Every structure is written in C-alpha cells, then in structure tokens.
Amino acid sequence: MGNGIVDDVDRALIAELQRDATQAYATLGKVVGLSAGAAHDRVRKLRERGVIRRTTVDVDPTALGRGVLAFVMVDSSAWMGDATESFAAIPEIQEAHIIAGTASVLVKVRTATTEQLQDVLRRLYLIEGVSGTQATVVLETFFERPVRAD
C-alpha cells in the first residue's frame, strides 16, 4: 500500500506515466516543470512508497486468445481470506477480491472459450470452502479505465 501524501507534481508525473510509461525522464520533467534528475528521483520514490506498484503493457486479450471475460461470484462455507494461493494457482483468474455481500470472493476470469470457463469453474469448486459460483459472462466492454491521478 502507498503511504504518505501525493502532491500535485506527483499526480502530474503519474498521469504522464499512465499516458506513456516509456517517456524519458527529461520529457517527463519538462511536462511537470522538473529536471530529468528530479523527475527520476520523484518516480523512484513513488515506486519505493508503493504508489506506483508496477509498470506494464496493456495487451488486447482477444489477440492472445483470451476473448471470453467473466466475473464470478464465489460462495463459501468458510472464511476465504486464507485461500489467496489457491485462487492464484488458477492462471485464468486475473483478479480475486474478498467482498462484502452474499458472496465471499469476486474473481475476474479470461479464457479462450466457454468450455475453458466451465473448467475454471470446476477448479474453483476444488478450493476448500467453496460452496457455489455465479458466473456473469461479458458480451461487450464499453471501456476500462485506470485509476486516475487527478
């Protein structure tokens, strides 16, 4: 988790990095009014504090053969907070969240086919404490957006 206060310069740096994380520090610094060295130092500190958790590439899942997207509500007969490794062991699960409500866990799953999704659901039932699932298959995604810095 990030700690400490993020100021306006940090927010501007984060917004620029979200727009294009391959920018040179000189370019980043110019945009936010810092030298390249000062921009580099700020970004390093944001990483150290956990504000910037990782730098990644946004890839089209369909191009990689993962065109089926589903959100699965997982019901349980026990507390699932200790099952992190069990959920992480299923590679098709992109995200897993402990939630409040009638279900215990919400997972985001990407597969190539609905048959593969069915197989993921079978594997979820093998996790100790899982008592049921409710899958919602996404037909179309209007948009996805990153957390904004402003």
Pick the CATH number of 8-48 from 1.10.10, 3.20.20, 3.30.420, 1.25.40: 1.10.10
Compute the average pLDDT of residues 84-101: 97
Q: Which residues contact 111 (CB under 8 A, 6 or more apart)?
A: 66, 68, 70, 92, 117, 119, 120
pTM for this model (two decimals)? 0.79
**Which CATH number is 62-137 given?**
3.30.70.920
Residue 31 to residue 34: CA distance in whole angstroms? 8
The count of residues in the chain is 150
The domains of the chain are located at 8-48, 62-137
Does the pLDDT value for residue 3 go beyond 80? no
Chain segment 99-145, per-residue pLDDT in tens: 999 999 999 999 999 999 999 999 999 999 999 999 999 999 999 88
